[in-house]
A and B are shown apart, each in its own frame.
Chain A
Amino acid sequence: MMPQVVIAGAGPAGLAAAAATADAGASTLVLDEQRAAGGRLRYQVQPVAAAPSVPAERPSDLLERLRAEAVAAGAVVQTGTVVSACFAGLELLVVEGDAASRLAPDALIVTTGSTDLPFPFSGATLPGVFSARATQILLNEHRVRPGRRFAIVGSDEAAEALTVDILLAGGEVVWSGVAPAPFLRAEGDNGVSALVVGQDRFDVDVVVIAVGRQADAALATMAGVPLGFVAALGGLVPLVDERMRSSVSGLFMAGDAAGPGSVAAAIAEGRLAGVAAAAELGLATEDEVRQALIAAGPEVAARAAMRADLAPLHQQPYEPADAR
């Protein structure tokens, strides 16, 4: 049976959206390319709050609850499956292993998360240079420490969290900070052995690039959703209105895919997008959407304000026929 709602990405935003749409009575299918659901909740170990007003908890506990809520509401969560393309009329190309199939739901909620921002400098392609997320996945999910001595390029909250993760794993952070790319150089023959910062040289096994993340909105872009630029949201973000609705009919976005933010914001936006999508299908009332908007809280409102009145940066070359 064709699901009424397909949700691309089973992280906090996607699972929260699935609970909302399934709760409203829409047949809901959540797809995720990774082998297990959870997104960032799988590789983060430090306590995280599901909402601003509740105490922080283990990411694995939060993930289990979000998944249980989605499944209890009737959503189907399918992992190891990539939503590879989105064509006009929300026609989706879905790839699982070597098999491809087609889905054409009434609504698509894109919760594909984010990608770490790159930071190219001399030697940054050497083995032993990893993204912040890769380092967290190795340390926290696979319990593999790819070296003992670490340098971290970056200074935001993510870099600080990473420092704690490295120390907990028994590693050592010998340098952490930001420097213009021309002042950074990773050295080594078949892998990093030193990071040179200006005049200083640090012997390290691993260099981590933790300079932030950007919305992974490729699927929405393919569908014809225009992008705008908000530096505070990681750069390019899809244009969505306050109820997470894009200009493409039936396409909603939430969480990091609509601009990197907290887990609490992802969950709140996911719920909001789920209710708004249900309303679009006639399964929720305008009143329920208004209530979801109020319940979403101040961070979601602040994110919406940053996206409001954004001008599209460019026009898609192959605009779908049904784009508004």
Chain B
Amino acid sequence: MAFTCDGIAVESRAGEPIAAALLAAGWRVFRTMPRYGDPRGGYCMVGRCTDCLMVVDGVPNVRVCVTPVAAGLDVRTQVGLGEDQWDPARGESSGVA
């Protein structure tokens, strides 16, 4: 079951959470923090710590550790509070979150 993260195709198994698929594919940074832009990449994997918030199909602040994968999902690294979009080509955000 394939979806994309920041426009890059990611393979996954049905039923697993988005975070598991991303970590299996070698992804490390799921979001950057609003104030200093420091990276976060998931911590608790049970939906508590909010380290893994990403933008999924345009909806920000989705806990990808407890959200199952679905074919064709558009997952994006969340910058700050998620109003902003990550620009994979430049490796930075497209504006100030």
Contact = CB atoms under 8 A, between A and B. Distances in A.
A and B from one complex: yes
Interface in B45-61: 45-49, 51
A116 B23 contact: no
Contacts of B44: 115-116, 130-131, 133-134
A34 interface: yes
A39 to B, nearest CB: 10
Interface string A106-126: 000000000110000000011
Contacts of A115: 44, 48
Contacts of B66: 34-35
Contacts of A137: 45-46
Contact of A125 (B16, B23, B38, B65): B38
B45 A35 contact: no
A34 B43 CA distance: 17
Interface string B13-44: 00011001101100011100000001111111
Interface stretch (A63-71, A138-146, A156-164, A308-316): A138-146
Contacts of A144: 16, 20-21, 23-24
A235 interface: no
A134 B40 contact: no
A270 to B, nearest CB: 20
Contact of A190 (B28, B42, B45, B48): B28
Interface centre among B30, B46, B65 (most CB of A within 10 A): B46
A144 B26 CA distance: 10
A190 B30 CA distance: 10
B28 A130 contact: no
Given A138-B23, A142-B16, A142-B17, A131 B39 contact: no
B29 A190 contact: yes
B45 A130 contact: yes
A133 B68 contact: no
Contacts of A34: 46, 66
A134 B43 contact: yes
A128 B28 contact: yes
A129 B23 contact: no
B29 to A, nearest CB: 5
A126 B38 CA distance: 8
A283 to B, nearest CB: 34
Interface in A184-206: 190-191
Q: Which 7 A-B pairs have the closest CB atoms?
A: A127-B41, A134-B45, A191-B28, A142-B20, A127-B28, A144-B24, A137-B45
Given A127-B29, A133-B46, A142-B20, 18 more contacts: A34-B46, A35-B68, A125-B40, A125-B43, A126-B41, A127-B28, A127-B30, A127-B39, A127-B42, A128-B28, A131-B43, A131-B44, A134-B42, A142-B24, A144-B21, A144-B24, A191-B39, A191-B41
15 contacts: A33-B47, A116-B44, A127-B30, A127-B39, A127-B41, A128-B41, A130-B43, A130-B44, A131-B43, A131-B45, A133-B45, A142-B20, A142-B24, A190-B39, A191-B29
